[in-house]
Structures are given as structure tokens and as C-alpha cells.
Amino acid sequence: MKIVNYNGFRDAAQKRLPRFIFEYIDGGSYDEHTLRRNVDDFKAVTLRQKVLRDVSNLQLGTRLFGRDMALPVALAPIGIAGFYRRRGETQAVRAAEGAGIPIVLSTMSCCPLEEVRAASARSFWMQLYIIRDRGFMKDFLLRMEKAGIDTLFLTVDLAINGIRYRDRIGGLAGSQSLLKRPDRLLDILSHPAWAWDVGLMGRPLTIGNVAPAMPNGAGLKQFQAWVARNFDPSVTYKDITWLRQHWKGNLVLKGITDPCDAVRAVEEGMDGIVVSNHGGRQLDGSLSSIAALPQVRDAVAGRMTVMLDGGVRSGLDVLRALALGADSILLGRAWAYALAARGEAGVSQMLAILKEELEVAMALTGQNDVRALDSDLALPHP
């Protein structure tokens, strides 16, 4: 099957993955209004067509947190990617490296960060959830330092888990025991390529980073109970002060959509923020990321790096977000589906497609450099 865009990767992933995993990736919270808005609102951002400018030498590279990037894009933290493809995070990091961009590795990756680090020639960025167990947190921060990680994305929009109906209906939630879940067993057996690649050859299917804190096993079943016990809804800036004492690298807050929260992040000395609603998986009914961006950017007024994720499906969307003030983009489901569909080669292909789309979008809007776009390039979502 010829894949030419995001939808092609999504279709291929849907065919290959057992349903409970596809629904986990694809779904959002409640009736998924924000999930849809994230995508639809991008389409409502109008770009100006500008002509007769020399666009023969396009500059797509940028520099963020001291790192040169070949594209203004990085891979967003996506949990349990090792369930999408064999040792999925190692395949993704290699594809990202090949394209000259970083991945933000999820705390909830299947492969522990050391395994991912061994798979790549250089270090990457890391996402963090604040866990109640401060001993674990200190160890985890030390492990990151040892792996040469210098930039941490602290996810702040998950004080508590969003309610995701798709996970509750035949999805990831509930018992993981195949004996108690004949529907799950059937689901797996009817996807033999996945069952072989991931179910058999992709073991151990654990949450590698937190496995040391889970002596009774780090499979999906124990993981859900562990998250319920260890995610801390009482987190505030006092915990970030604690984090700052133990982490000397860059600190970026992921999950800001409110301009007041953005201003506070500046005042508290954060190095950056990601305008994000967790891909529509947390507060349903909230603003889409792209609709939230202009106000946040104005509130921050150039005082810190502003990234965006949520609903980016093409290079055209990347240009729209940059034109409205993002310094860079994180790609979420785009790489999750590409990985599920075709592994490392799929993520590389997806990034190549995105690059070409960005180049075409820049050329047809008369832009030469992603870091110096015309200020009137995009009319925001109304």
C-alpha cells in the first residue's frame, strides 16, 4: 500500500495493531471534542499566498535548548511505544536521529532510557511525570544525567487521568489477564504480524523506566495500579522548586494553554513551555492548541521558548503553527502511527513527507527561513 500522508499511516496502523492498542493511541477524553478541534482548528488557519520571491534556498533548520535541529519539529513523548512495534522507542529514536531531530522520550516508555540511549549516537530529550516517591525521582534524574540528557519536559496537564471512553470499552483499561479477556486474546490472534513482532519478539513488554520501582512486575496490569498510587495530584510549583534543586538542565513545562499559566512559567524561570492539551486526552472541551497559541505567545512576549503540539498532521500545519508564533512543534500520533505501520522506516518516511510538505508550503507562501517568517503570514483561527 502506498502511503503518502498522515491518514495513510493511520489506516495502516489500524490494520496492523490489535484494536485495544489502536484505540489507546487514537482516542481522546469524553466525547473527543478537543481532539477534533485540535485538527479542525488548524484547517481554519488561513495562510497568505505570496508570489515572485526567490524561494530556491529554503532554510528549515532551527536551534532549541542548545541543540541544532534539521527541522523545526521533534517527536512528542508517547507512552508504551514498545507495544506498537518491537522495542518501538529504539526504532523511533534512530529515525529521529536520521532526520536530524530529537525525540522527547516518555517516562512511560517500554524501553528504559538506557536502552534507547544505546540505540542512538547522541542523547535526546526526556519527559517526566512527578512521582510521589522522591527516592525514585532522584534516581531517575541521576539516570538521565548519566545518559547525557540535558532537557526535561515536565508534563503538567495530567494532575489526574482524563476519562477516555475508548479505553473503557474494550480498550486498555480493566483486567490485562488474557485468561479473563477472551476478547483480548481474539484481538491479538487476529493480528498475527503484531503478535509475532511485538507480543513475542518485543519482550519484555514492561514500562522500562519505572520497572525498578515496581518489584511485583512492570507489565500493563501492575503499571496501571502503580500509576494510580504514584501519580501525584497535589503537585504545584513547590514541587518544581524541589525539581530545580536536583535538575540543573533545561526545564520545559508541557501542557500550558492558559496565558496566565504561561506568564507564571516565565516568572518561575522555566526555559520553555509546550502549548498542549495532551492531544485531546485530558480536559475535553478545552481550547485546541492552535487556538490557544496566539494568546500564550503574546503573554510570553519572547521571554522563553514556546513549542506546540496537538493536531499537527502535515508540513502545512507545521508552517501554520510557526506562523502563529511557535518556535517548534512536537509530533504525537503522527509518529506513533508511522511506527506502528512500518517501524523505523515508517517514522523516517513520515518525517521525509513532512519535510517535503513544509518546503512546498514555504515556497508557495514566499518564505525562505522557518526562523524568520513574515509576521502577517497567517490569519489565526477566529
Ligand X SMILES: Cc1cc2nc3c(=O)[nH]c(=O)nc-3n(C[C@H](O)[C@H](O)[C@H](O)COP(=O)(O)O)c2cc1C
Residues in contact with ligand X by CB under 6 A are 24-25, 38, 76-79, 106, 108, 127, 155, 254, 276, 278-279, 281, 309-312, 331-334, 336
Residue with the three cell numbers 513544509: 358
Q: Which of 33, 191, 246, 278 is catalytic?
A: 278
Give the nearest distance from C-beta 167 to ligand X in angstroms. Answer: 10
Please name the helix (run of DSSP H) or strand (run of DSSP E) that holds residue 13, with its range, or none.
helix 6-16
Q: Torsions phi, psi of 74, nearest 5?
A: -135, 165
- Shorter beta-carbon distance to ligand X: residue 50 or 143: 143
278 is catalytic: yes
Name the minimum Å distance from CB 338 to ligand X: 12
CA distance 85 to 222: 21
C-alpha cell read off for 81: 511505544
Residues in a beta bridge with 131: 231
Contact 277, 311 (CB under 8 A): no
Tell me how far, at minimum, the Cβ of 23 lies from ligand X, in Å: 10
Phi first, then psi: what are they for 278, rounded to 5°?
Answer: 60, 35
To the nearest whole angstrom, how small is the minimum distance from the Cβ of residue 126 to ligand X? 11
Closest CB to ligand X among 123 and 288?
288
- Cβ proximity to ligand X: between 5 and 368 the closer is 5
Residue 311 vs 325, nearer CB to ligand X = 311
* Prior bond of 182 cis (ω within 30°): no
Report the amino acid identity of residue 378: A
Residue 68 Cα distances to 100, 222, 305, angstroms = 8, 39, 14
Helix, strand, coil: what percent of the chain each, to 5? Answer: 45, 15, 40
Report, in Å, the least distance between residue 105 CB and ligand X: 9
- For ligand X, the closer CB: 24 or 223: 24
In the chain, the amino acid numbered 9 is F
Active-site residue set: 278
